[in-house]
């Protein structure tokens, strides 16, 4: 693997690691440790400005991490592994076959869900509550998938993650 590809993969892994931490933190601030969300709970969250801000932050961080993983990290990981890079569904299917994510179809469904988190939250809390609950639960799947990819990069591609490695 060439130096540029190695450096890019390391950079993306560090980026997603920060995004993952930020997403999990805002999820905790928004929902605590409980992902069960019904319309009543969502209305209570939206009754205060801080709840609205946290929901907007969660939606943005959820979308950003999902975009970074699916559109940047997965293709870079495949390239580094000598695999062809194809359409998102094919790339995610390859990640599933490698055992790095549980379900490519689920990841694609979540890509559609992110738009609902950003655009529907105030106008339709009855519709948004189940979407928010699903997104909350999926943050764990993204977290697990990312760390599986990170471990794969370390074990199979000999990618290291210390700060001094980016200079190599």
The pLDDT value given to residue 125 = 84
**CA–CA dist 108, 102 (Å, integer):** 12
pLDDT of residue 112: 81
pLDDT tens track for 14-50: 999 999 999 999 999 999 999 999 999 999 999 999 9
At how many degrees (to 10) do helices 49-68 and 39-46 cross? 110
- pTM, whole model, 2 decimals? 0.90
- Domain regions of the chain by residue span: 3-158
pLDDT of residue 168: 37
- pLDDT score of 163: 52
Give the burial string for 67-100 (b: 16+ CB within 10 Å, else e). Answer: ebbbebbbbbbbbbeeeeeeeeeebbbbbbebeb
Asked whether 93 and 78 are in contact (CB, 8 A), the reply is no
Q: pLDDT digits over 69-122, tens only?
A: 999 999 999 999 999 999 999 999 999 999 999 999 999 988 888 777 766 656
């Amino acid at each position: 693997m060439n130096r540029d590809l190695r450096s890019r993969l390391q950079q993306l892994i560090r980026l997603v690691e920060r995004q993952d931490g930020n997403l999990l933190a805002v999820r905790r601030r928004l929902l605590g440790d409980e992902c069960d969300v019904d319309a009543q709970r969502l209305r209570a969250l939206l009754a205060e400005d801080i709840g609205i801000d946290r929901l907007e932050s969660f939606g943005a961080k959820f979308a950003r991490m999902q975009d970074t993983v699916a559109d940047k990290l997965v293709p870079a990981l495949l390239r580094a592994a000598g695999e062809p890079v194809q359409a998102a569904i094919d790339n995610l299917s390859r990640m599933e076959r490698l055992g790095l994510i549980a379900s490519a179809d689920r990841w694609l469904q979540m890509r559609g869900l992110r738009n609902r988190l950003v655009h529907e939250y105030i106008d339709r809390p009855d519709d948004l509550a189940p979407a928010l609950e699903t997104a909350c639960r999926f943050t764990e799947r993204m977290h697990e998938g990312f760390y599986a990819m990170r471990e794969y990069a370390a074990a199979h591609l000999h990618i290291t993650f210390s700060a001094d490695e980016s200079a190599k």
